[in-house]
Chains A and B, each alone.
Chain A
Amino acid sequence: MSKILIVGEHTGGQLAAGIAKVVAAARKLGEQIDVAVFATDGKAVAEQAATIEGVSKVLRVDRPENEHGLAAILAPQIAALVKAGGYSHVLAPGDTFGKDVLPRAAALLGAEQVSDVMAVHSPSSFDRPIYAGNAIVTVEVGGGPCVVATIRLASFNAAGAAASSAPVEAASTDAALPKHTRFVKLASQKSARPDLQSARRVVSGGRALGSAEKFKEVMEPLADKLGAGIGASRAAVDSGYCASDMQVGQTGKIIAPELYIAVGISGAIQHLAGIKDARTIVAINKDPEAPIFEVADVGLVGDLFQLVPELTQKL
């Protein structure tokens, strides 16, 4: 029987939206699904986790050291909970939090990790992307202490709300926590726009935008009109047109919006890796040979500086 532990990522008193997707993946593995919330005071977050359909129990691990969700601090606690609870599976979202913390826990447990699970065939068989999503490999996991996996959020629909809340229990571990890592600061640009990973619509700008000013001037009105999140290619981020957390692709964010509009983006394989699950892809590019048109559902060839303002106006 599978017994699953999910690392309940949270920030600012809010459970991460991705957790409901991880729960959806977990439900394909088994029925005993516990969410662990590591916080200084995890009451509010634990209560949010308890309302996700399919969650059996929420474990609340309150410790002052948990304030910043550092991998070095969380990993020993995760490993200790897994051992004490006899869990067969440990899951986390495949975002930068999960990618940072889960392999550290896996190594402490002596387990290999399956990264970016996109489909669950059985409790020991999974699909995951390799080579920027240009190949999908089915892996069998066995012979280790437990199965450790991060979940590719773009591949799962969020579990719904439960009819009644699951119980929340206080839990503690005797894990010794290191002091070698200190949080200094987090610089985040607060934006009223929808978060890229959960946005229904995303518009992205590439190198062709030419400057931070133009990026803003062309992309923001379009995003405003559509109520869309704004993404970017690596070239746009590297050139300083926008913030690094806006990068979409193999090494940026993997997204699955209903509508994706790529503006002045050539469509390098590393970029395409991030948008394969978008329902409708629109490309605006002046080069009819640009690879982005090979994946676009609707392509429009021409100068973005003319076409995008026109599109914005006509929406």
Chain B
Amino acid sequence: MKALVSVKRVVDYNVRIQVKPDGSGVATDGVKMSMNPFDEIAMEEAMRLKEAGKLSEIVAVSVGGPKCEETLRTALAFGADRAIHVTTDAQTQPLTVARALAAVFKQEDAKLFLLGKQAIDDDANQTGQMVAALLDCAQATFASKLELDETKVTVTREVDAGLETLEADLPAVVTTDLRLNEPRYLKLPDIMKAKRKPMKKVALAELGVEESTQLKSVKTVPPPARSKGVTVKSVDELVAKLKEKGVL
């Protein structure tokens, strides 16, 4: 059984981002970039399924500019068998990405699509759900547990009310939450091996996908700063302070 895993190149989660003073966006020049952490979890899950003999092939996909290749190489180092780079120079929006990913999924005739639940740059939390809609197939978002068999996948989802379990016929789209697994550390030999694995390029237009332009970012600003707080020396002072603020 073949699985597709999408991987997005984002500013590393440890970076304290800076908003550009002219309001045009977030500074990314010279900033450490990494694979979206939720996509690492998706890659790891795919690898575990393959190691358990439940998947025969893992294809990693990324949509974006030339630098996506680095992220795809990381996916190959994780153990993906091959990579597909959907090229575009535009700032992609989830619907466009979803259309591209759905097109690749169909072309590949894959059965399982693993995506991160959200990209930690745009925090959109949309792409997987949109892919499932476009493929008219099952979706299970925010997965913290996944069991795959021949015809279906059983997923435990982290929802506001607790843990929900769904059963979905294949093909299915699953988006990963933090507690699905802990991604492995990549070893040097795997990183070396990844360099020789196949990577295919395909332009967005070749997939028949048009760039959607419904959303325009007009201005980006830092969040309002909180006023400086105080440090108290004892619990008594803390209680007094809270009473003073009227929160007790």
Contacts and interface: CB of A to CB of B under 8 A. Distances in A.
Which one of A106, A112, A116 has the highest number of Cβ atoms from chain B below 10 Å of its Cβ? A112
Given A72-B132, A107-B95, A300-B238, A141 B220 contact: no
Nearest to A276: B223
B107 interface: no
Contact of A185 (B13, B164, B233, B247): B164
B196 to A, nearest CB: 35
Given A181-B167, A314-B239, A135 B222 contact: yes
Main SS at interface, chain A: mixed
B123 interface: yes
Nearest to A237: B179
Interface stretch (B1-9, B43-51, B154-162, B200-208): B154-162
A228 to B, nearest CB: 11
Contacts of B221: 135-136, 138
B11 to A, nearest CB: 7
Interface in A290-305: 293, 295-301
B94 A134 contact: no
Q: Which of B129, B219, B227, B237 has the most CB of A within 10 A?
A: B129
Interface string A131-170: 1111111111111100000000000000000000000000
A131 B235 CA distance: 35
Contacts of B144: 244
A168 B158 CA distance: 33
Nearest to A18: B160
A233 B68 CA distance: 31
B248 interface: yes
B130 A104 contact: yes
B195 to A, nearest CB: 31
B90 interface: no
Contacts of B158: 96, 244-245
A81 interface: no
B192 interface: no
Contacts of A310: 235
Given A72-B132, A130-B123, A298-B232, A138 B142 contact: no
A244 B127 CA distance: 23
Contact of B247 (A100, A143, A182, A258): A258
Contacts of A97: 159-160
A187 B236 contact: no
Contacts of B133: 75, 103-108
B22 interface: no
Contact of B129 (A107, A137, A139): A107
Nearest to A308: B235
Contact of B220 (A11, A110, A135, A243): A135
Given A107-B129, A300-B238, A136 B223 contact: yes
Given A138-B218, A139-B217, A234 B178 contact: yes
A115 B17 contact: no
A270 B177 CA distance: 14
Contacts of A114: 215
Interface string B128-143: 0111111011111110
B53 interface: no
Given A97-B160, A107-B134, A245-B158, A112 B212 contact: yes
A310 B230 CA distance: 20
Contacts of A72: 132, 138-139
B122 interface: yes
Contacts of A311: 235, 238-239
A280 B242 CA distance: 9
Given A115-B124, A132-B120, A245 B241 contact: no
A71 B215 contact: no
Interface string A79-102: 000000000000000011101111
Given A250-B120, A298-B232, 7 more contacts: A137-B218, A139-B217, A186-B161, A244-B144, A259-B248, A298-B238, A314-B239
Interface of A: 11, 70-72, 75, 95-97, 99-108, 110-116, 125, 129-144, 178-189, 197, 201, 234, 237-238, 243-245, 250-251, 253, 258-259, 269-270, 276, 279-282, 288, 293, 295-301, 307, 310-311, 314-315
Interface of B: 11, 13, 16-17, 19, 26, 93-95, 98, 117-118, 120-127, 129-134, 136-142, 144, 154, 157-169, 172, 177-179, 212-223, 226-227, 229-239, 241-242, 245, 247-248
3 nearest CB pairs, A to B: A188-B162, A107-B133, A103-B129
26 contacts: A72-B132, A96-B158, A99-B141, A100-B159, A107-B133, A112-B215, A113-B126, A129-B123, A131-B121, A132-B123, A138-B218, A139-B217, A142-B214, A144-B212, A144-B214, A181-B167, A181-B168, A182-B167, A186-B165, A244-B158, A245-B163, A251-B177, A282-B238, A297-B227, A298-B230, A314-B236
